[in-house]
Amino acid sequence: MSRLVVVSNRVADPRKTAAGGLAVALAEVLNNTGGLWFGWSGKVIETEAGGRAGEGQIHRHRAGSVKLLTVDLSREDHAAYYLGYANGVLWPVFHYRLDLADFDAGYIHGYRRVNQLFAKLLAPLLKPDDLIWVHDYHLVPLASELRALGCQQRIGFFLHIPLPPPMILAAIPGHDWLMRGLCAYNLVGFQSQTDHAHFCHYIEHEARAQAIGEGRWRVFNRTVQAGAFPIGIDVDEFTALAQARESREMFARMKRDYSVRNLMVGVDRLDYSKGLPQRMRAFRELLHKHPETHQRATLIQIASPSREDVSAYTDILHELESLCGSINGNYGDLEWMPVRYIHRTVARARLPGLYRASRVALVTPLRDGMNLVAKEFIAAQDPEDPGVLVLSRFAGAAEQLSEALLVNPYDTEGTASAIQMALQMPLEERRTRHQALLATCRQYDVHWWCNSFLGALREAQAQESGTPWLRL
Ligand code: ADQ
């Protein structure tokens, strides 16, 4: 079997619980093939004027039989590649937020430079029959940089975040370069059918691609295959985590503290794509419209710090703090605080207990590639007395989880009504919906995702063989 080489912005040690299901699933395949995982170390280092961090310097670690290879970034490269282009341009635009994108700062040069650096360091380590799997928006041009160095291996790309419609994509100066880079992969995977359709529309109309069947296209003088591969969680791993001591303690404490109240939960990174202020406004509307919820419902909102050195994130932090403060000020009393807002990361081992103790989960992003919290909440429930998932129709997960209560997070009244419906849902209906949702999470779990993507990547190569690589 070919060796698997994974490339992503950050590299996780799959033996640590915090790494999550994705790292565990990748580690399984990496382990079986004696593979390697390559990416940024997370370290930013100061360099002499003109010098570049990471040039030729690879840190090597081992996690079982998996090799973890990382490089440091210079302050300048980190600012342009990571904070600038990836998180100041691609993240907002791909989440449909052109208003937040900073196109003018010239970050694209740093983005290209770091992708070239990764390609230069990785290319000599590759074997001819390696299977290379590149992850996410930080590394779109990596395949074309590797191809330019003569790499002919099978290279697949998975986009963890949404791909917006062509008219939004086309607003990015250099969008044609970016999309041409995407077409240098043998296989491109998206989270949802919607994202896949946006890709097809773009290459058909902007690059005159020709469909040649089964998700394959002729474009830029080569063949690229694309499809939707919705990511899942490791349901068994998460269920096992729910049985561990930390999770059981969390469950018991929450059940005790909220014995007379319905607990609602939100777990997110503090990001403007997650719709946190809109969620708070919907919760405020619920309290306003349904006084019977007073004293009876408490929302625990965990919003872990994220990319605090990008300015749009400090704005969202202040807005959220102010909304939580005013809800508690206006509706709370000595015995009851409607919202508990926690601006910290909760240990992964405690999450299943928190989910299981909650009657309702609010997963209401304005836009999300998939959203794994929705699936984790389903996996953690007691099937005999499950909670209800209120899910944004704009999360990739909504395509699969149609038995959740789907909401438009911009519609404050509509979302408040759905929360009320969730709080009042009879046991029988909760069970029926949960059963269907759990079956979907199980069928399309993270192992399905990994195997179906890698299976398609192997196939894509078989079909491509005999077609010489044409340089971009
Ligand atoms: P994220 O935007 O980070 O990921 P999400 O899928 O919601 O979003 O969460 C990923 C993991 O982080 C989950 O395992 C979750 O439990 C954990 N997590 C989130 N908030 C947390 C918190 N406050 N405390 C502790 N743990 C927390 C990107 C895309 C998503 C896509 C994933 C995977 O934006 O749309 O689902 O990648 O492809």
Please indicate whether residue 368, judged by its CB atom, sits closer than 6 Å to ligand 1.
Answer: yes
Instruction: Return the CATH number at 415.
Output: 3.40.50.2000
Please indicate whether residue 370, judged by its CB atom, sits closer than 6 Å to ligand 1.
Answer: yes
**138 Cα to the center of ligand 1, angstroms:** 17
Q: What is the tally of structural domains in the chain? A: 2
The atom of ligand 1 lying closest to the CA of 160 is: 38
As given in the structure block, the two tokens for residue 457 are: 């990547």
- Find the angle CA(357)-CA(362)-CA(365) to the nearest 5 degrees: 145
Active site residue 196: no
Is residue 405 within 8 Å of residue 388, measured between CB atoms? yes
Domain for residue 288, yes or no? yes
Cα–Cα dist 137/95, whole Å? 12
Q: Which residues of 90-122 are buried (b: 16+ CB within 10 A; e: fewer)?
A: bbbbbbbbeebbbbeeebbebbbbbbbbbbebb
**352 Cα to the center of ligand 1, angstroms:** 14
Are residue 166 and residue 295 in the same domain, yes or no? no
**370 Cα to the center of ligand 1, angstroms:** 9
Q: List the alpha helices (DSSP H) in 244-393.
A: 245-257, 276-289, 311-331, 351-356, 372-380
Residue 56's pLDDT band (cuts 50, 70, 90): low
Residue 396's pLDDT band (cuts 50, 70, 90): very high
Tell how strand 131-135 and strand 210-213 pair up: unpaired
Task: Taking residues 415-419, report their average pLDDT.
Answer: 98
Task: Taking residues 330-339, report their average pLDDT.
Answer: 95
Q: Higher-confidence residue: 358 or 34?
A: 358
Are residue 240 and residue 205 in the same domain, yes or no? no
The atom of ligand 1 lying closest to the CA of 372 is: 6
Are residue 239 and residue 227 in the same domain, yes or no? no
Are residue 227 and residue 359 in the same domain, yes or no? no
Query: Is the pLDDT at 133 greater than 90, yes or no?
Result: yes
At 403 the pLDDT is 98
Please indicate whether residue 223, judged by its CB atom, sits closer than 6 Å to ligand 1.
Answer: no
**What is the chain's mean pLDDT, rounded?**
92
Are residue 102 and residue 126 in the same domain, yes or no? yes
Cα–Cα dist 317/320, whole Å? 5
Is residue 428 within 8 Å of residue 402, measured between CB atoms? no
Cα–Cα dist 152/262, whole Å? 57
Cα–Cα dist 413/79, whole Å? 40
Predicted model pTM? 0.95
Query: In a 10 Å sphere around its CB, with 0-12 CB exposed, 13-18 middle and 19+ buried, how is residue 295 labelled?
Result: middle
**268 Cα to the center of ligand 1, angstroms:** 7
| Residue (of 150, 134, 84) closest to 112 by Cα position | 84
Domain for residue 120, yes or no? yes
The mean-pLDDT minimum among 42-51, 100-109, 399-408, 456-465 falls in 456-465
At 50 the pLDDT is 56
Q: Higher-confidence residue: 215 or 31?
A: 215
Please indicate whether residue 130, judged by its CB atom, sits closer than 6 Å to ligand 1.
Answer: no
At 18 the pLDDT is 59
At 308 the pLDDT is 77
At 21 the pLDDT is 62
Query: Is the pLDDT at 328 greater than 70, yes or no?
Result: yes
Active site residue 368: yes
At 469 the pLDDT is 42
Q: Which domain holds residue 55?
A: 4-232+448-459
Which residue type does 136 have? D
The atom of ligand 1 lying closest to the CA of 304 is: 23
Secondary structure E strands in 136-275: 154-158, 187-190, 210-213, 216-219, 222-228, 262-269
At 206 the pLDDT is 95
Are residue 438 and residue 452 in the same domain, yes or no? no
Residue with CA at minimum distance from ligand 1 atom 11: 372
Mutate to test the pocket of ligand 1, among 355, 363, 373, 389 (most ligand atoms within 8 A of CB): 373
Query: Is the pLDDT at 472 greater than 70, yes or no?
Result: no
